Copies of this chain bind each other. A is one copy, B any other.
Amino acid sequence: MEERHPGPGQGKLYIVGTGPGDGRHLTEAAREALAAADCLIGYRTYLELLPPELLAESDSREIISSEMMKEVERGRQALELAARGRTVALVSGGDPGIYAMAGLVFELARRGHSQVTIEVVPGIAALNACAARLGAPLMHDFAAISLSDLLTPWEVIEKRLKAAAAADFVTVIYNPKSKRRTWQIEKAREIFLEERKPDTPVGIVTAATRPDEKITLTTIAELGKAEIGMQSTVIIGNSQSYIWHNLLITPRGYGDKYNLAG
């Protein structure tokens, strides 16, 4: 494959997606990048979810685990080590390309480390993993919206919630709730209630594929009663979505244009 961001050979930085948690969802490409690196950097929790053989340390191989919320520091450190000629793997849970580390690293590189060769190794994102665990909610057009208003004005988020609700997008809600982020999911519920039937199905997956995984099926009307946390992703069905057994399914289209009766 063509190098997408070829620097003059001064080290290499892989931004590696390690998937939702269960090490079985790691790709071969991610495993290769982690094995090739002489320096692994990541948020402690994501590193601890990796298969132990990938975490071996030696004189020539370093593992740097850091705390939550230190993304900028982590990204900068990864770039600096790569600029010194190291082969660095920056570990990102899920897919680094979806609401995660990839963008931040490029933004930092642009400000001072443009000589490092950077490669994004995609991973199974929360939306892929949660959809698989719920059944098949993402069979039709969907929107992904984060409720975190740390870097985005709430008005922008609210506008997107309204647009997604009105245009009948299946909607994947990232960062629905945290200790400080409490009222946003209730506001999202109100917005969807204005556009969709109260019994529209909603799936909530917490800690997808991990030992403490929890899956809840509910409706927009009942969403306020559901347990939602920092590790939860919420998927709101479109007007055609339905529950079958314990699964959330969105049909491929509108109406019965294809004959399934056979």
Q: Which residues of A contact B (CB under 8 A)?
A: 1-2, 4-5, 17, 19, 22-29, 31-32, 72, 76, 95-100, 102-108, 110-111, 114, 120-125, 128-129, 131-146, 150-153, 156-157, 159-160, 162-164, 166-169, 209, 213, 215, 244-247, 249-255, 257-262
Distance of A162 Cα from B29 Cα, bound (Å): 37
This chain: copies in complex = 2
Instruction: Offer 11 A-B interface pairs, CB within 8 angstroms, sorted by A.
Output: A27-B124, A72-B260, A99-B252, A102-B139, A103-B250, A111-B261, A120-B132, A124-B128, A151-B258, A162-B167, A163-B166
Instruction: Determine whether the beta carbon of A146 is less than 8 Å from that of B156.
Output: no
Instruction: Determine whether the beta carbon of B151 is less than 8 Å from that of A254.
Output: yes
* Residue from the list B137, B139, B160, B215 in contact with A141, Cβ < 8 A: B160
* Residue from the list B121, B129, B141 in contact with A144, Cβ < 8 A: B141
Chain B residue contacts of A134, Cβ below 8 A: 4
Closest B residue to A146 using CB positions? B141
Closest B residue to A167 using CB positions? B163
Instruction: Determine whether the beta carbon of A247 is less than 8 Å from that of B129.
Output: no
Distance of A28 Cα from B108 Cα, bound (Å): 32
